[in-house]
């Protein structure tokens, strides 16, 4: 069975391409094979006049996609400690190309973001033009826990969130729901999960013109009634009610003060407390590069974002902090990572600087247009 199931479904006029991430046992975690299959099919359908729109979902009811295959990245990192990690670096390059393709796709792409949507899964959803979340959607970018950073375009969509919400979510790995996704701009529609088949049937009942603008409008026309009838099922959000606190916590003179603000808060609020603990137990070296990456890309174009993320990602997987984070959380599962630094104040400036220096003469994504 293919890791990505590709189907061409006949509509009243035209066709809809359907892509299903098909690795249910691993919560549809992205592998390099899946990335390549997605890229190839997207490229094929982009040039096929019969395909009017694309619908992307995940197999099963638990997850759209729980992220990238981090254990494979770990194996690549420990296989060549301190040096080039061929698999990991190739994975990042090809994954980011696929993400960029999604963002730039002219035809409508409808993403059914049901269940867990994390890391690389959020990268797929964020790039789609019509992003649907449900009552069971659970989103996070928990890279702080494994000494990575919110990549797959995270430097773009986190920087475009209201206030300091993006930085707070990046530093804490806090989990958010459908209402939060709508508020922060990660999703476009809330639709109850029971309507999925009806949504797809309605999409197939349309007469597609093959003109991108009118076909995007047609998708909105189809989705709007389902969104309206689902309003009462949308869960209460966490981000918007906490925005004053989030903005205050992230209002520091430097990253160290922001970290101290978040980890030092005395709160009985369960969501804020869990966010605090996520940062407290995470890599402080990673917190430093997460903060700097967001700052350095705050005015960057989408193309520049992916180029900078590839540079940082390549340098990160070559450093042992990442391998230790994955070991503690996913390999040995002792949840006792031996981080290099107990606090962010201990991180040497020259070490942090090294993660933002190009490891190549030419960035492998320099050809993005």
Active site residues: 68, 120, 143, 151
The bridge status of strand 109-113 relative to strand 51-58 is parallel
Q: Which residues contact 36 (CB under 8 A, 6 or more apart)?
A: 94
DSSP 236: P
Cβ 219 vs Cβ 205: under 8 Å: no
Q: Is 107 helix (H, G, I), strand (E, B) or coil?
A: coil
- At 131, is the secondary structure helix, strand, or coil? strand
Sole residue written with tokens 């190009």? 358
Q: Which residues contact 362 (CB under 8 A, 6 or more apart)?
A: none
Distance CA 224, CA 167 (A): 31
Please give the Cα distance from 149 to 146 (Å, whole number). 9
Contacts of 270 (CB under 8 A, 6+ apart): none
> Measuring CA to CA, which residue among 174, 186, 170 is closest to residue 125?
186
* Strand segments (E) across the chain: 4-10, 15-21, 51-58, 63-65, 109-113, 116-118, 130-133, 138-140, 189-190
Select from 165, 173, 107, 109 the least CA-distant residue to 139. Answer: 173
Closest among 168, 160, 333 to 248, alpha carbons compared: 168
Q: For 181, left (φ over 0), alpha (ψ -120 to 50), or beta?
A: alpha
Residue 193 CA to chain centroid, in angstroms?
21
Contact yes or no for 267/246 (Cβ under 8 A): no
To which residue do tokens 């770990």 refer? 74
């Amino acid at each position: 069975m293919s890791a990505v199931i590709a189907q061409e479904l006949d509509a009243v006029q035209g066709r809809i391409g359907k892509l299903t991430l098909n690795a249910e046992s691993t919560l549809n975690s992205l592998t390099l094979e899946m990335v390549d299959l997605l890229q190839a099919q997207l490229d094929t359908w982009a040039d096929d006049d019969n395909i009017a729109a694309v619908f992307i979902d995940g197999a099963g009811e638990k997850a759209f996609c729980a992220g990238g295959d981090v254990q494979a990245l770990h194996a690549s990192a420990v296989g060549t400690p301190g040096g080039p990690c061929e698999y990991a670096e190739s994975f990042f390059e090809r994954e980011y190309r696929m993400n960029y393709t999604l963002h730039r796709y002219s035809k409508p792409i409808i993403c059914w973001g049901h269940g867990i949507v994390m890391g690389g899964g959020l990268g797929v959803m964020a790039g789609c033009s019509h992003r649907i979340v449900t009552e069971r959607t659970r989103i996070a970018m928990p890279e702080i826990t494994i000494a990575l950073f919110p990549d797959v375009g995270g430097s773009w969509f986190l920087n475009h969130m209201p206030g300091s919400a993006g930085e707070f979510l990046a530093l804490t790995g806090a989990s958010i729901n459908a209402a939060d996704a709508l508020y922060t701009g990660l999703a476009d529609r809330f639709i109850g999960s029971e309507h999925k088949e009806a949504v797809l049937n309605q999409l197939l009942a349309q007469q597609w013109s093959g003109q991108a603008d009118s076909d995007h409008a047609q998708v909105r026309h189809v989705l709007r009634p389902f969104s309206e009838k689902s309003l009462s099922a949308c869960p209460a959000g966490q981000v918007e009610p906490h925005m004053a606190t989030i903005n205050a916590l992230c209002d520091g003179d430097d990253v160290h003060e922001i970290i101290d603000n978040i980890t030092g808060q005395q709160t009985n609020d369960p969501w804020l407390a869990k966010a605090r603990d996520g940062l407290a137990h995470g890599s402080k070296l990673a917190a430093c590069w997460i903060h700097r990456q967001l700052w350095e890309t705050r005015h960057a174009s989408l193309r520049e974002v992916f180029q900078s993320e590839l540079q940082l990602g390549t340098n990160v997987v070559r450093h042992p902090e990442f391998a230790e984070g994955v070991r503690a959380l996913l390999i040995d599962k002792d949840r006792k990572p031996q981080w290099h630094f107990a606090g962010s104040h201990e991180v040497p400036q020259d070490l942090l600087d090294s993660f933002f220096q190009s490891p190549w003469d030419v960035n492998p994504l320099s050809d993005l247009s």
